[in-house]
Amino acid sequence: MEREQWGSRVGFILAAVGSAVGLGNIWRFPYVVYENGGGAFLIPYFFALLTAGIPILVLEFGIGHKFKGSAPLSFRRILGKSEWLGWWQVLISFVIITYYVVIIAWAMSYTWFSTNLQWGEDTKGFLFTEYLNLSDGAWSSGGIQWNIFILVIAVWALIYFVLYKGVKSGIEKASKLLMPVLVIIMILFTIRGVTLPGAVEGLNVLLTPNFDKILDAKAWIAAYGQIFFSLSIAFAIMITYSSYLPKKAEINNSAFITGLSNSGFEFLAALGVFGVIGFMATSSGTDVNEVAAAGVGLAFVVFPQIINQLPALNEVVGVMFFFSLVIAGLTSAISIVEVIVSAVMDKFSMSRKQAVTAVSIIGFLGSVFYTTGGGLYYLDIVDHFINSFGVVLAGLVEVLIVGWLYRLASIREHNNLTSDFAIGSWWDIMIKVITPIVLGTMTVLNIKTELGAPYEGYPLDFLAIFGWGTAAAVIVLGILLSLVPGFKNEGRKF
Amino acid sequence: MNTGAIIMFAFGATLLWGGLVVTLVLASLKSKNAKESYSEDVSI
């Protein structure tokens, strides 16, 4: 069976950028900058982009292009026994997509709520009591919330439709349509944000450098963490996407374009977000530091409050903000599901239609779990553990295996053959030394933090099952899947 | 905005947005395939 292929370089890059640009670019990055030295944080951030983010992108683009397979097949071709690593990454993608789809469904709801500011004055109460109907505690599921359940079906249907059409007619076309729309909306949102009265206060808090903070190792770890989580690396997406590149496709510059587009987008989003936060602080007579927030709290509690107080165009700004979350989320979700679809197709010789149908149904069933009244608790814990002990650890194992057990230079030489510019042996050092040190440090610090106190005060048995249990299950299942016979159409040897 | 914030804005904008522009210009200058279709290259 001939492997599918992108229709153009622009299509591939837009799909890769669409994957990298996700919810974290809009709701995580601005707060990370604010918390870690403001403008001064841009120094470790840019350093992390050049020493880890782009080098890993170059590596994953190279792996996918050279070995022409989904993550399990590519790692099998790199080193026969490392197929499990590919499955581990695929299963991490599976876990992430089950709750990621639910957040997109929330953003869809809030896009609609924006049209008449339905959340009212008590935005916190509206989110947790009225919309999510949050249960009393972690062990109480509270039953399915049907308003969320229906939208989750809609999101899965959209993903199904795009992936069913294939790489060129589905993913590429969707990326070419959605990414320009997302960038235009974000530019308009940022222009509105920075021209609001009081926006300067927010921008001053965001950008005024505090160089003392970047002398602390925490800021550097935060910079590497942001780059790592933001670029969709280490859970097989970029390997999968680049496996659909033709033989003569450019690699190195495409990795730079993808990395810089992702970072350029989140820099733009940060200006818009802190512009409106500055407005909120000024108009309510509070300090910017009291308004600054991240994640679900920023998007679904603070932003509705800000939108309520805008002097004009409240509904328009609300729709722009939440619709940008929907698009950013959808393009990332499509890439995450494609990782699983591609692996299933390769391993079990299934057609795209069969694989997309099977993965979408199973994924949807997993998502139902998060549409219950206790869904936010599960989401919070699973997201925390799968990132801290899934993505980071899988990334560490990936650079160790490819860097030290395989002739890494052969991937660099392969990339250089067709690239706009050649990459030197400095790249080998980044992959073999710098990245493992950073990811290893992050893992040790994560373990130390976790053992210090239960995450967010959740019950220990709950954390053991949903947190540690999920992180461990994806490794065990990954190993088991690698032992299942498959890859009948493996083709040429590498 | 205060001077420090303006300088850091210029720093970020130059490196991130400026860097992106440079890579895009390089792509259009160096690569024949920068904007063209991949359709003629089906060798896998």
Beta bridge partners of A144: A372
Report the pLDDT averaged over residues A229-253.
94
Residue A268 has pLDDT above 60, yes or no: yes
Task: Kindly list the residues from chain B whose CB atom is less than 8 angstroms away from the CB atom of residue A259.
Answer: none
Query: Which residue of chain B has the CA closest to A47?
Result: B15
Residue A414 has pLDDT above 70, yes or no: yes
- Asked if A185 is an interface residue toward chain B (Cβ–Cβ < 8 A), one would say no
CB contact under 8 A, A42 and B15: yes
- Please report which confidence band the pLDDT of residue A295 belongs to, taking 50, 70 and 90 as the band edges: confident
Residue A483 CB partners (closer than 8 Å, separation 6+): none
- Asked if A310 is an interface residue toward chain B (Cβ–Cβ < 8 A), one would say no
Instruction: Tell me what ipTM this predicted complex has.
Output: 0.89
Per-window interface: A 46-105 vs B, CB < 8 A: 46, 68
pLDDT tens digits for range A454-491: 988 899 999 999 999 999 999 999 999 999 998 876 65
Report the pLDDT averaged over residues A277-287.
89
Q: In a 10 Å sphere around its CB, with 0-12 CB exposed, 13-18 middle and 19+ buried, how is residue A374 labelled?
A: buried
- Asked if A291 and A198 touch (Cβ cutoff 8 Å), the reply is no
Query: Which residue of chain A has the CA closest to B28?
Result: A420
Return the DSSP state at A298.
I
Q: What is the largest CA-CA distance in chain A?
A: 67
Q: Has this prediction a pTM greater than 0.80?
A: yes
CB pairs under 8 A between A and B: 114
Preferred mutation among B9, B17, B23 to probe A, highest tally of A CBs within 10 A: B23
- Asked if A4 is an interface residue toward chain B (Cβ–Cβ < 8 A), one would say no
- Asked if A260 is an interface residue toward chain B (Cβ–Cβ < 8 A), one would say yes
Mean pLDDT, chain A, rounded, equals 93
Say what the pLDDT of residue A203 is: 95
Q: How far apart are CA A61 and CA A65, in angstroms?
A: 6
Residue A428 CB neighbour total at 10 angstroms = 16
Within 13 Å of residue B41, how many CA atoms lie on the same side as its CB?
18
Residue B26 CB partners (closer than 8 Å, separation 6+): A253, A420, A421
